[in-house]
């Protein structure tokens, strides 16, 4: 196998330009030419991982198969490339420093003063190369979080500078910037891009390719001007203008030959063919869909769509495969009550109750679930959403009034959801949930089996509380069945009410495992039920 090639994606001017989408799209193009690609993200913040972060900070916390709580961009990487990421794909400054400090305490630095350069940068470089050293990939794309010029990004940019020197042609730097349109002047402005590239150059990194984020397509002249000011070839100034869907971005980049430019600059052959057939078929379905499915997502971070990113994308993928447009409505669980529930939920074709933590907004979820159950609306509960299904059923069908999860009410008389045994003595909150992929044995006579067509499935988890098996008989006698069980621990993974159209909750998170070319079977089954309804 030839040497692994390393591509760095940095960002400038402002955050939220979609660096993750550009990295994922470039990865997609290289993969569509037959190369093996992985994408990793280095986050400059000091948290060890995003697991302890409030969704208001960085949106959803994603979970890898091997149980790393990770940045939501890893979700994009998986959805675009259809290959799993792992612990090695997301590293934070906190982890880098922790490793270096652990080594220092062990005495590994042999009396030397431990410094940002070379010790922190060496540790960053070592981590950047981990996946490349497995020799499983032709390309390792590394997205550097944050924006060039941030104090906390400096050691990363310095590491990129050093690696470019060491790797020569096997290394390439893509810089993403913003070209704003100034309405009063009726002009687009390239100055912020020029400044951002200067900043990068001051730090010793000359970008090879620029991606300009813009609202509308830019003229050739603008691109020429940017090329001139930034020491970049004219054809290597690529634009990424606004499109309806993030899944169109690979096509936009391909049109401008970004994949070819990368191959050329890395001294690689251009013989491979770019095959985006499946991808384009998906886009075509998205464009031609006429009918709509209206889904209500009930959660407490509704003003922040990134908080439920993977659920949004899984729903969109499943809707697209059913040739439907997705009308996703966010419904604030804190605002739901007995009086307004019918008005707010009546028009929906289906309901999803979101995952989450803590008491806030929980009573609204019970109100929604009671309405959905009594009105036979297709309903999907995920993690906390599934736990809420169980609690609502206990209160209103089993007549165990005040039944609850001990997460919400430690002294509840009916602990239908309770802390897992192994969680009881934990002191550290970070990285200590039941995380990552676990087996689940699915009962044959169930919606879950109909969806997966398999008796053994594997999905990802992120929780501390579980269904209390002491109540299992009572639930099953009254019509809520436990149709998915972990074969090793007996932990309930799926509950269903078979009498209803589609009323199913999962303790696991199927949304972490749904990609453009392989939508998750449960989301497909849910949308199918919605469409058939």
CB of 471 to ligand GLN, least distance (A): 16
**Shortest distance in whole angstroms from residue 216 CB to ligand GLN:** 40
Residues whose CB falls within 8 Å of the CB of residue 392, separated by 6 or more in sequence, listed in order: 365, 366, 369, 370, 373
- Closer residue to ligand GLN, CB minimum distance, 42 or 465: 465
Task: State in angstroms the smallest separation of the CB of 274 from ligand GLN.
Answer: 39
DSSP states of 463-525: ESEEE-GGGHHHHHHTT-EEEEE-TTT--EEEEE-TTSSSEEEESSBGGGS--SSS--HHHHH
Extract the tokens encoding 167. Answer: 């790797």
Q: For 17-42, give the secondary structure using H, E and C.
A: CCHHHHHHHHHHHHHCCCCCEEEEEE
What sign does the CA torsion over 190, 193, 195, 201 have?
A: negative
Q: Is 511 a catalytic residue?
A: yes
Closer residue to ligand GLN (CB): 296 or 356: 356
Query: What counts of helices (H) and strands (E) characterise the chain?
Result: 18, 23
Instruction: Indicate if 383 belongs to the active site.
Output: yes
First to last CA, the chain: 52
Q: How far is the CB of 510 from ligand GLN (least distance, A)?
A: 12
Provide the binding-site residues for ligand GLN, judged by CB under 6 A. 355-357, 383-384, 407, 462-465
The SS3 assignment for 1 reads: coil
Is residue 195 flagged as an active site residue?
no
Tell the smallest beta-carbon distance from residue 492 to ligand GLN (Å). Answer: 12
Picking from 247, 332, 335, the residue whose alpha carbon sits closest to that of residue 24 is: 247
Q: Which one of 78, 313, 496, 511 is the catalytic residue?
A: 511
Least Å distance between CB 384 and ligand GLN? 3
| Contacts of residue 451, Cβ cutoff 8 Å, sequence gap at least 6 | 521, 522, 524, 525
Among residues 383, 388, 440, 482, the one annotated as catalytic is 383
Q: Which residues of 352-391 are buried (b: 16+ CB within 10 A; e: fewer)?
A: bbbbbbeeebbebbbbbbbbbbeeebbbbbbbbbbbbbbb
Cα 78 to Cα 76: distance, rounded to the nearest angstrom? 5
Whichever of 80 and 465 has its CB closer to ligand GLN, that residue is 465
Quick one: three-class SS letters along 63-104? Answer: ECCCCCEECCHHHHHHHHHCCCCCHHHEEEHHHHHHHHHHHH
| Residues 48, 49, 52: CA angle, nearest 5 degrees | 100
Q: How far is the CB of 322 from ligand GLN (least distance, A)?
A: 26
Starting at the edge strand found earlier in the chain, the sheet holding 415-419 runs 404-405, 415-419, 465-467
**Shortest distance in whole angstroms from residue 389 CB to ligand GLN:** 12
CB of 127: closest distance to ligand GLN in angstroms? Answer: 27
Query: Largest alpha-carbon pair distance within the chain?
Result: 74
Report the residue number, 204 or 358, with the smaller CB distance to ligand GLN: 358
CA angle 456, 458, 463 (to 5 degrees): 130
In the complex, what is the shortest distance from the CB of residue 37 to ligand GLN, in angstroms, rounded to a whole number?
A: 30
Contact 12, 103 (CB under 8 A): no
Cβ proximity of 159 and 121 under 8 Å? yes
Cβ atoms < 10 Å from Cβ of 299: 27
Measured from the CB atom, the residue of 179 and 298 that comes closer to ligand GLN is 298
Q: Is the CB of 262 or the CB of 384 nearer to ligand GLN?
A: 384
Nearer to ligand GLN, 67 or 146 (CB): 67
d(CA 297, CA 415) in angstroms, rounded, equals 26
* CA 425 to chain CA mean position, Å: 30
- Burial (CB < 10 A; 0-12, 13-18, 19+), residue 11, is buried
- For ligand GLN, give the closer residue by CB, 60 or 496: 60
Which residue lies nearer to ligand GLN by CB, 60 or 313? Answer: 60
Nearer to ligand GLN, 358 or 413 (CB): 358
Please identify every residue annotated as catalytic.
383, 509, 511
């Amino acid at each position: 196998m030839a040497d692994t090639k390393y591509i760095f994606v940095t960002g400038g001017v402002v955050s939220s330009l979609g660096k993750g989408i550009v990295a994922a799209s470039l990865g997609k193009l290289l993969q569509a030419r037959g190369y093996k690609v992985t994408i990793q993200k280095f986050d400059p913040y000091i948290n060890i991982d995003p697991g302890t972060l409030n969704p208001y900070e960085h949106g959803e916390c994603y979970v890898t198969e091997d149980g790393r709580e990770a940045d939501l961009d890893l979700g994009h990487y998986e959805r675009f490339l259809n290959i799993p990421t792992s612990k090695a794909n997301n590293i934070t400054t906190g982890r880098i420093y922790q490793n270096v400090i652990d080594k220092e305490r062990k005495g590994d630095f042999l009396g030397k003063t431990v410094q940002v350069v070379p010790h922190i940068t060496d540790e960053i470089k070592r981590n950047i190369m981990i996946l490349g050293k497995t020799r499983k990939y032709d390309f390792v794309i590394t997205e550097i979080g944050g924006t060039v010029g941030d104090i906390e990004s400096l050691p990363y940019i310095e590491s990129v500078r050093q690696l470019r020197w060491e790797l020569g042609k096997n290394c390439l730097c893509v810089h993403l910037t913003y070209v704003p349109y100034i309405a009063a002047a009726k002009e687009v402005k390239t100055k912020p891009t020029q400044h951002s590239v200067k900043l990068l150059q001051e730090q010793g990194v000359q970008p090879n390719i620029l991606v300009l984020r813009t609202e509308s397509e830019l003229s050739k002249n603008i691109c020429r001007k940017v090329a001139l000011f930034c020491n970049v070839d004219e054809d290597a100034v690529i634009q990424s203008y606004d499109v309806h869907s993030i899944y169109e971005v690979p096509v936009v980049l391909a049109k401008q030959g970004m994949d070819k430019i990368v191959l050329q600059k890395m001294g690689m052959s251009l013989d491979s063919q770019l095959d985006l057939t499946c991808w384009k078929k998906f886009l075509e379905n998205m464009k031609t869909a006429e009918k709509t499915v209206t889904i209500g997502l009930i959660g407490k971070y509704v003003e922040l769509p990134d908080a439920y990113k993977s659920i949004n994308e899984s729903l969109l993928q499943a809707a697209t495969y059913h040739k439907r447009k997705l009308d996703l409505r966010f419904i604030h669980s804190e605002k739901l009550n007995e009086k307004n529930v019918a008005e707010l939920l009546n028009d929906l074709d289906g309901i999803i109750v979101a995952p989450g933590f803590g008491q806030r907004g929980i009573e609204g979820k019970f109100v929604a679930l009671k309405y959905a159950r009594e009105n036979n609306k297709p309903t999907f509960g995920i993690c906390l959403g599934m736990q809420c299904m169980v609690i609502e059923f206990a209160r209103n069908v089993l007549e165990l009034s005040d039944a609850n999860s001990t997460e919400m009410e430690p002294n509840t008389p009916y602990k239908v959801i309770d802390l897992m045994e192994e969680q009881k003595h934990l002191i550290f909150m970070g990285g200590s949930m039941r995380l990552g992929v676990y087996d689940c044995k699915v009962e044959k006579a169930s919606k879950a089996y109909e969806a997966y067509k398999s008796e053994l499935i594997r999905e990802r988890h992120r929780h501390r509380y579980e269904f209390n098996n002491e109540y299992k008989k009572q639930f099953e006698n009254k019509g809520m069945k436990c149709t998915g069980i972990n074969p090793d621990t007996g932990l309930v993974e799926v509950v269903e009410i078979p009498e209803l159209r589609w009323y199913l909750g999962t303790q696991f998170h199927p949304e972490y495992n749904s990609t453009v070319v392989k939508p998750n079977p449960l989301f497909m089954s849910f949308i199918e039920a919605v469409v058939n309804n």
